[in-house]
């Protein structure tokens, strides 16, 4: 089978020990020369859709996440992500690969291109297209499709697939792969305030909803994607608390309901 890898997967290989890299190389070689059914028998199916199926493979303490794509000509395996699982919390501080404390390009204090004080295109006071006060399509008070009170598909109370109490796959207390206390390869994204204090992180539930957690993996609410490719944020009571604006380099700027800049996400 043909094997491809995402940039995120390739980047994480460098964080593995020599023994882990050797084990990974052996498994990838085995996949390459395996028949489709033989390969699938060694994985756990996580999900499937029109664009392929997602699987997980165990390699010692590593968890490899792959996508299986088949067409008339060949079967392809796309290496999506890799996680390292520990039996106990490995450290108290965790910031992922994009740590704004050590990498200035992710720190709005140092990188003015992602700082709304200097970049007016990211500032809702100057750019009304990202301001819910003026752009009602991203305002859940006026757009009921992005308001969980009116749209049950994005309301965890009614849609249990996006409720971590019922869906343990998106609950870091039960799924160590998405718990940064147990998985040193977990990359976030993490919430920070403007003083670089880490406030939590989010997990993607589906194409339209993210699940918000605090630093102790406690469920705090949800985010609903809007037309700017940002998110409207809600607490557990479905009260609107603020929104995220894409920073154009893979992260977000965090604003409250009154358009005050209160932090960022990387």
Q: Where are the domains of the chain?
A: 2-84, 104-265
The single residue listed with the structure tokens 């059914």 is: 37
| pLDDT tops 90 at residue 190 | yes
Looking at residue 85, its pLDDT comes to 62
Q: Is the pTM of this model over 0.85?
A: no
Q: Supply the pLDDT for residue 51.
A: 58
Structure confidence by residue, pLDDT tens digits, 162-185: 999 888 889 988 888 898 887 877
**Average pLDDT across the chain, whole number:** 88
Most confident of 20-34, 77-91, 157-171, 191-205: 191-205
Span 202-207, average pLDDT: 95
- What Cα–Cα distance (Å) separates residue 123 from each residue in 5, 192, 219, 259? 36, 18, 29, 9
Query: Which band of pLDDT confidence, cut at 50, 70 and 90, is reported for residue 95?
Result: low
Query: Which pLDDT does position 196 carry in this prediction?
Result: 95
CATH topology of domain 2-84: YaeB-like fold (3.30.2310)
Closest listed residue to residue 229, CA positions, set 214, 201, 205, 210: 210
């Amino acid at each position: 089978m043909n094997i491809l890898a995402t940039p995120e997967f390739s980047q994480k290989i460098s964080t593995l020990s020599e023994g882990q890299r050797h084990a990974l190389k052996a498994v990838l070689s085995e996949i390459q020369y395996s028949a489709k059914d033989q390969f699938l028998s060694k994985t756990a199916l996580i999900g499937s859709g029109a664009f392929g199926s997602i699987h997980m493979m165990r390699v010692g303490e590593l968890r490899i996440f792959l996508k299986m794509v088949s067409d008339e000509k060949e079967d392809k395996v796309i290496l999506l992500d890799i996680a390292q699982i520990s039996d106990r919390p490995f450290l108290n501080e965790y910031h992922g690969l994009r740590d704004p404390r050590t990498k200035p390009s992710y720190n709005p204090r140092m990188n003015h291109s992602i700082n709304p004080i200097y970049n007016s295109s990211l500032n809702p006071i100057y750019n009304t297209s990202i301001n819910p006060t003026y752009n009602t399509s991203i305002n859940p008070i006026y757009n009921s499709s992005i308001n969980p009170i009116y749209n049950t598909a994005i309301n965890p109370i009614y849609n249990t697939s996006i409720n971590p109490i019922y869906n343990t796959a998106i609950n870091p207390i039960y799924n160590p792969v998405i718990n940064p206390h147990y998985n040193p390869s977990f990359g976030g994204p993490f919430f920070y305030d403007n003083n670089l204090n880490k406030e939590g992180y989010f997990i993607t539930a589906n194409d339209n909803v993210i699940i918000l957690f605090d630093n102790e993996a406690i469920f705090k609410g949800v985010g609903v994607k809007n037309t700017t490719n940002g998110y409207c944020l809600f607490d557990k009571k479905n009260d609107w608390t603020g929104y995220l604006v894409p920073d154009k380099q893979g992260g977000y700027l965090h604003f409250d309901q009154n358009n005050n800049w209160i932090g960022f996400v990387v």
